[in-house]
Amino acid sequence: MTDDAAFELPVIRLRPKSKPQAIRHGFPWVFADEAVLDRRTRNIVPGGFARLEDPERKPLGLVTVNPNSKIVARVMDGDPEARIDGAWIAARLSRALQMRERLYEAPFYRLVHAEADGLPGLVIDRFGDAAVMQPNAAWADAMAEEIADALVQVTGVSTVILNGQGRARGLEGLGERMEVIRGSAPEAPVQVAMNGATYLADLMGGQKTGLFFDQRPNHAFARALVPQGGTVLDVFSHVGGFGLAGLAGGAGRATCVDGSAAALELAQGGAAAMGAGDRLEVIQSDAFKALEAMAEEGRRFDVVICDPPAFAPAKPALEAGLRAYERVAKLAAPLVAPGGYLGLCSCSHAADLTAFRNVSARGIGRGGRRAQLIHTGQAGPDHPMLPHLAETGYLKALFFRLD
């Protein structure tokens, strides 16, 4: 952003009945029905910048604008005179990196968690010498080159991959794109060590960025529940998150169930890399059908974990999503051996913790079991929460001991 461009920034003003104090206290979004949008602001190119003012014309900060989105403005900086350029991005990345380097010995973590790290709509996961970025807001998509340059400068990575896929981009009016914008794509899946297990991350063809770092502390808790030589069932396993953690903790056998053959192949590769290939069973199947089939076979496991995709990604899907979570609990509970443990997870931000806990407990009861709730988990600290924005605290993990 040049000095002339900054001087000529348009202004977006909040409507009189809006609540500007929410913005002043840290809420990062302005919805379309909260702003006065004249012809000039409606013509702002998605991802452009503007100054935000309250109804009395007092400045609130600098925002990025997308007239095509329900979130018409996202706060970039509390300083209305800020310049959003490579130096600004590098400063935000440096702040994010400082915390992760204190928390983790190896450079495998979520480096940027969107609004919670002051980079709205931008997600970046780091895999050693490579970083995968998801620009889910128009400004980040438009400034992908500047972000990549700053990433190389601040972290020293040599490869930057842009994964422009997913529901969030559609809500912003952004098309899909997948490309390597710095360096070259890894020739093989990247090995990631977590909690004593080895995972394989496909940075170009895997789900999301290739691996779910958010479950790291919940993998560790589940690992501690597995008795030596015991059995683990990991349903909706992706690349074997909970199953491989169980094997690392001494499980005699782990079973991973997923609908993706590619994900299960990565799970098998991870198990082989940690010397446990002969202790992993994989089942490619619809998860609900697999749960029903295993119940009919009379199978039981010491630890059962279900980590499904977001059944309630938005409020319109909430009721159907809660029913699906309840059904998962009902089908999974009978597979837990007496005195064993059941872990149920939700990454749906529309389903809050209370609602998810209630349907999980009801499902366990409908499955004919009684339970103690022994632990409630969330995403790791590389996925910080913005207290004002519930969406940043999306992950919930409930661990039950079943009679």
Question: Are 72 and 31 within 8 A, CB to CB?
Answer: yes
Q: What angle do CA 181, 182, 184 make, to 5 degrees?
A: 100
Buried-exposed string 324-348: b where 16+ CB fall within 10 A, e elsewhere:
bbbbbbbbbbbbbbeebbbbbbbbb
State the catalytic residue, choosing from 256, 306, 345, 347: 347
In one letter, which amino acid is 90?
A: A
Six-digit token string for 369:
């079991």
Residues 6 or more apart whose CB falls under 8 angstroms from that of 386 comprise: 26, 28, 115, 116, 392
Q: How far apart are CA 74 and CA 52, in angstroms?
A: 10
**Do 301 and 340 meet the contact criterion of CB atoms below 8 Å apart?**
yes
Phi, psi angles (nearest 5°) of residue 168: -60, -35
Please give the helix or strand (H or E) that residue 167 lies within, else none: helix 167-171
* Whether residue 256 lies in the annotated active site: no
Buried b (16+ CB within 10 A) or exposed e, 35-59: bebeeebeebebbbbbbbbbeeeee
Q: Would you say 280 and 268 are in contact if contact means Cβ atoms under 8 Å apart?
A: yes
Query: What would the DSSP string read from start to end of 121-143?
Result: TEEEEEETTEEEEEE-SHHHHHT
Q: What value, to the nearest 5°, has the Cα angle with vertex 302 and ends 298 and 305? A: 95
Q: Which two tokens stand for residue 127?
A: 């895999």
Catalogue the active-site residues.
Answer: 347
